[in-house]
Amino acid sequence: MKIMVVDDEPFFLEQLKQIIGAYAREEGVPIEVIDECYNGREALRRISETLPDAVISDIRMSAMDGIELARTIQERWPNLPVVIISGYPSFDYAREAMRSNVVDYLLKPIDSAALKNVLGKLLRKVENEKVDQLGKMMQLLIRSSKEPPAAAIRELSEAIPSFRAVIVKNLMSQSNPFLSGSPYDYEDTAFRSSLRHLLQTNEEAWRFSSDHNKYFIIIMKVRHDDPLRWQEILRHIQRFFRHSSRIAPSLVCSRLLRDWSLLSAHIPELIKYLYEHTVIGRSRLIFHPDWQEAIPDETFQSELNQIDEIRLTSLYQRRNWKDLKALIDEWINGWEARQAPAVKVEISLKHIVRLLTQQKLAQTGERLILDSRVEEIIDVVQSHEELTEAFWTILKKGFVMEEAQEKDRDELRLIFDRIESYINNHLGRPLTLNELADKFYVSVSTLCNLFRDYSGKSFVEYVTALRVERAQEFMRAYPKMLNKEIAELVGYPDQNYFSRVFKSVAGVSPTDYRASLSR
């Protein structure tokens, strides 16, 4: 942290410098006095040259006093903190200092302990602001498809010469409507705090979300690249994102990276690698092969062979639902035993759907809808047993296997009716698939199928549409109610996020929708 000190008395300037230097040595922190000025006017002239992180100033000086200096700094550099030191214990001085947005007010003679306490607070403030600033730059690089700004690349390279990127599967992406489309969260203090005991001085972590929040993107600044230490850090990250799931999420870690301009290219590469190596029901810690010894690619191909195809279509043509289900169970159990990657399982399930669609002579659009449902259950299931149940439910519904589905249709409809009622009565609070699954004693994948079967929407789409519809009802019934209040009542504590969601569903902003009501 770079500090500018301002005082017209050389004795006090020297005393300030000695206390600051002593604090830096005692705490082992990077604090230094980079400039000293004898009045406020001189300080203002040199701030743009020396770029201090904080200013410590006396209150009474010639040319320009500390209060006027603080006021002018607030106007020109609103994020630059100012500490006032005064030899006059006057309430008026203190009040004026607070009005000028001074962060602290100390009295002379300078108390060493009090000043060191202020320095500690300043250092934490400056470091947090720097972390957030770097996070915003990373966010720009991750999200932008254009060539990254040279200034951002340069500043990141100076602050973080080397880093690692970690991609974590978001197990909650399909189950929490708050997460769908939410902004990047580089100010994730809970995540950063949880890692603090594993990180050393001058190390940091930033968390972001990928498009559609299917993955978390973590950027790690580390000083010592010890593989064993990395294992510990990555295991901790898995535990942090476990949430209420039975298993910890899989993740992939990059090699040590140094070129920030390539970050936007590395992210999709890592996501693809994780996607291709995730195994249903297993928590995997994967190092990208260009980091150390490559993890062998899975050679198992789960696509069905010609004999499998003939067996499947024969059972379907004979409407032998019992043996058809047993055959699919056998295949899925085999993929589990061989630890087939989820992507291979997905390919095989879509292959089954395609074969049955051909037998049914269905349209391509119908097959694509079923394919999207396969993708959805692959995202949420946590075991092959759950996958078997969910996939069979899709087949029963999609291919009208009457004998197989008649006995449980009424029961499922009743469960969904109860779920709808619960959601309607609790729309203002967080709702997740995991919570509903526990409450109504069904699996998450079954819930996904219920929402698709009886509403034609995914869980997130259903709850989002319902919340926007409820918000519109409030706007019609209570024209003077604030958008912020309505947002909270329908389950969106962040008004800005509510506005974005509202527009994405209704096609207009909340303000424009209200205006249309008064026409």
pLDDT value of residue 162: 92
Taken in order of first residue, the domains within the chain and their CATH numbers are 2-128 (3.40.50.2300), 160-287 (3.30.70), 306-456 (no CATH), 461-517 (1.10.10.60)
pLDDT value of residue 95: 67
- Determine contact, residues 458/376, Cβ cutoff 8 Å: yes
- Determine contact, residues 251/285, Cβ cutoff 8 Å: yes
Peptide bond connecting 109 to the previous residue in cis, omega within 30 degrees of 0: yes
- Determine contact, residues 349/374, Cβ cutoff 8 Å: yes
Q: Among 181, 173, 182, 186, which residue's Cα sits nearest to residue 139?
A: 186
Burial classification of residue 200, based on how many CB atoms lie within 10 Å of its CB (0-12 exposed, 13-18 middle, 19 or more buried): exposed
- pLDDT, mean of residues 493-502: 87
> 4 pLDDT exceeds 90?
yes
pLDDT value of residue 2: 94
> 340 pLDDT exceeds 60?
yes
Q: Beta-carbon neighbour count of residue 9 at 10 Å?
A: 14
- Determine contact, residues 126/53, Cβ cutoff 8 Å: yes
Strands (E), 154-233: 164-169, 204-209, 215-221
Average pLDDT, the chain: 84
Q: Helices 444-455 & 402-425, crossing angle to 10 degrees?
A: 90
- Alpha-carbon span 210 to 214, nearest angstrom: 6
pLDDT value of residue 406: 52
- Determine contact, residues 213/180, Cβ cutoff 8 Å: yes
pTM (2 d.p.)? 0.70
* pLDDT tens by residue, 448-484: 888 988 898 889 889 999 999 999 999 999 988 999 9
- What 3-state class would DSSP assign to 257? strand
> 194 pLDDT exceeds 90?
no
Q: Hunting for tokens 């950063």 — which residue is that?
A: 192
HSE-CB at 251 with a 13 A cutoff on CA atoms is 26
| CA distance readout (Å), 186 to 78, 80, 232, 250, 273 | 22, 22, 22, 21, 24
> 435 pLDDT exceeds 90?
no
Q: Sorting pLDDT into bands at 50, 70 and 90, what band is 346?
A: very high
- pLDDT, mean of residues 102-106: 83
> 179 pLDDT exceeds 70?
no
Per-residue burial over 171-185, b if 16 or more Cβ lie within 10 Å, else e, is bbbbbbbbbbbeebb
pLDDT value of residue 294: 42
Counting residues of the chain whose pLDDT is more than 90, the rounded percentage is: 35
pLDDT value of residue 298: 47
Q: Sorting pLDDT into bands at 50, 70 and 90, what band is 91?
A: low
**For residues 234 and 179, which has the higher predicted lDDT (pLDDT)?**
234
Q: Beta-carbon neighbour count of residue 233 at 10 Å?
A: 20
Strands (E), 394-486: none
- Alpha-carbon span 466 to 460, nearest angstrom: 10
pLDDT value of residue 217: 94
Cβ within 8 Å of residue 316, ≥6 positions away: 324, 355, 356, 359, 399
Per-residue burial over 301-310, b if 16 or more Cβ lie within 10 Å, else e, is ebebeeebee
